[in-house]
Each structure stands twice: as structure tokens, then as C-alpha cells.
Amino acid sequence: MAKPVSIEVWNPNGKYRVVSTKPMPGTRWINLLTQQDCRVEICTLKKTILSVEDIIALIGDKCDGVIGQLTEDWGETLFSALSKAGGTAFSNMAVGYNNVDVNAANKYGVAVGNTPGVLTETTAELAASLSVSAARRIVEADEFMRAGLYDGWLPHLFVGNLLKGQTVGVIGAGRIGSAYARMMIEGFKMNLIYYDLYQATRLEKFVTAYGQFLKANGEQSVTWKRASSMDEVLQEADVISLHPILDKTTYHLINKERLSKMKKEAILVNCSRGPVVDEAALVEHLKENPMFRVGLDVFEEEPYMKPGLADMKNAIVVPHIASASKWTREGMATLAALNVLGKIKGYPVWSDPNRVDLFLNENSPPPAASPSIVNAKTLSLPVSKL
């Protein structure tokens, strides 16, 4: 029998029982649930990653919906337990749902929510931050200062790369990739080369217009190029940021062979999914090419890093914080809560999960809809006409 798990309870007499496997930023998500007659139970167990057994104990005998995290293994066992407890809704507090067996959810009639539309700029900002930090060796310099090693200015001390006039490469020019590209182009006057299966027309128009603006003001223009292959981006770009989805075709997209195609002083940034990069091959490449630098927010086997990566001075590593701005994380919590609430209350599914401003406006009630249900079509859920 599963051990009881410590919880914090809001609106104890609520009709619907909703469980959150973690405390989440802000209180709006709690208020939105309690105002709709939900009893909200938040797990307060001091444990970074809950086990399946922990979550089964949280679900208990009666549970209408669960808000979970991408570190949890939502498969057959958990969806079966949720269904037995009368639950029909689950939402990740994340855009990705690689941790969720959607087929198992379908089997038990459980709606699976995620939280797109709120992470674009925040994630792009971190990718840009890692790019600049790597180019100017900021983390190395910071450690040097803190160690008391600085005894005066030197001409060669922490010389890095100038970004202006260089080429930024984007692999995957969707919402986040395009937002990152705009930041690097407008912020540092970089040229663009990108690879995507689909043409990024809006991004191309932006670069063209910005180039014309620069030229009209007597400055060097910027250019764009849509590459015919990913290898073309790797060979030509000075800074490369990865923004693909993770599936069988993108697993180890960056491997030993492709790393060898990159410039010796290139910078590689990954804020997408860890397994897109062959981390062991990357460690070897960093060892062999000390002027090659990398900025990583995600890892192949989180929360662990491959042996040797932490020792690399030419690597910047941060703990999956791309979405960690206050506005974004509170927005993610709100969207996840509304996904669960919408299914419980029988609301339709929002027609465009990437346009969620109405759900995030704190000055008005959110639409009566679930913002994003990934298996809505399979479960034949109605779509909002709002």
C-alpha cells in the first residue's frame, strides 16, 4: 500500500478534487480552480522527482484531474489509477510531453493538456543569453574573478568572439527559433542562415526589412539564407542554435560527424531537447577543440550530465531554465490548471493553442475552454468557436 504523501489543501469542501504534483508559481491558477468549486491539493513532499508510487498515493480513490510535471512517468500505470479514481484530465506544466504515453491516456479516456504559446520569447531569450555568454566567455571570467585570480588588465585576458557581422544559424525556424533569430539579428546585426522543412516567410521578411533600415542609415546591411540542408548551416554559421522537435529523426541530430563539420571556433546552443545532441560525442569534441564553445539548457539523460561535461571550461550548463521567467512560469501554471478545469467542466477545447493571451489576462475571466488538449481529436472533444 502506498504511503500517504504530504499535501497543502485549498478549498477543502470543493466538489471536484484536483491534484498538483508540485507547488507551482503564483496563486492565480489556484484561485481559478477554487472559484469553480475545486478542492486543490498540492504535493509538498521534499522530493525533486516523484515516483509512480508517490503519484498513485496522491491520486487516491477519488480524483477528477491532475496537474503534473515533465519529470514524471505518465504511462499505463498512472492513467489506469487516475481513471479508476474517476479522473478524466491530466495536464503537463510544459509544452513538451515526451514523458506522457498519449496512447495510454486515450485508452482510459483521459485528456492530456500541455502549455504552448507562453514560452516563445522566454526560451528565445535564454538561447540568446547562452549565445552571448559563450561568445564573450562570461562564465569563465566570472569564475576567474571569484577565485581571486584577477591582478590587472591584460591584452589577451578572456578574448572571445565578436558577434556583429557574423552569421547566426538556426535549425528549426518555428516560433522559438524565429524569435531567437530576430533577437540575434536586431541585437547584434548578425546575418542569418536557417534550415527548416518549411519556409520561414515572416522571418525572411523581417531580416530583409531590417537590412534595408540599416542600409538607409549608412550601416552594413544584414542578409538571410534558407539552407538546403542542415549540414550547410553547420558549415557556414558562427553561432548555431537548435530548435527542432524531438522524434526518431532528430535523436542525436548533432553527433560526432556533424560536430566535425562546424567551425573550430563555433558556438552551439541547445534549449530544445537534450537527446537532440549526442552528449558523449560533444564532450570529446570540446576536449579536442578548446575554442569551440557550447551553451546547454537541456541534457540527454536529465538530471544527469555525461561524464566530463561539467569539467569543460568551454561549456556553459544551466538546469533546464529556458522557461524560468516569472511571467512564463505563472502562465504555464494557469494554462495547465485551465486544461484540467475545462475537461472537468465539459468546456470545449480552444481552437488555437498558440494564441493564449485571453487566458493570461489577469484583468478578465479566462474563456470557458481548455487552452490545449493534445489528444482532443482522438477523444472527439468539441472545439471552441470563440
142 has a pLDDT exceeding 70: yes
- pLDDT, residue 3, reads 56
2 has a pLDDT exceeding 60: no
Residue range 279-306: mean pLDDT, rounded? 97
Strands 38-43 and 7-10: antiparallel
Q: Domains in the chain, please, with CATH?
A: 7-114+346-379 (3.40.50.720), 120-317 (3.40.50.720)
Which residue bears the cell 493538456?
113
Burial class, 61, CB count within 10 angstroms (exposed 0-12 / middle 13-18 / buried 19+): exposed
Residue range 29-57: mean pLDDT, rounded? 96
Q: What is the percentage of the chain residues whose pLDDT exceeds 70?
A: 99
Give dist(CA 246, CA 303) in Å, integer: 17
As annotated, the active-site residues are: 273, 302, 320
Give dist(CA 280, CA 254) in Å, integer: 11
C-alpha cell at 240: 548555431
258 has a pLDDT exceeding 60: yes
pLDDT tens per residue across span 286-297: 999 999 999 999
- pLDDT, residue 351, reads 94
Give dist(CA 92, CA 66) in Å, integer: 9
Contacts of 35 (CB under 8 A, 6+ apart): none
Residue range 108-115: mean pLDDT, rounded? 98
- pLDDT, residue 1, reads 38
Average pLDDT taken over every residue of the chain? 96
Residue range 91-104: mean pLDDT, rounded? 95
Burial class, 164, CB count within 10 angstroms (exposed 0-12 / middle 13-18 / buried 19+): exposed
- Residue 332 and residue 119 in contact, taking contact as beta carbons nearer than 8 Å: yes
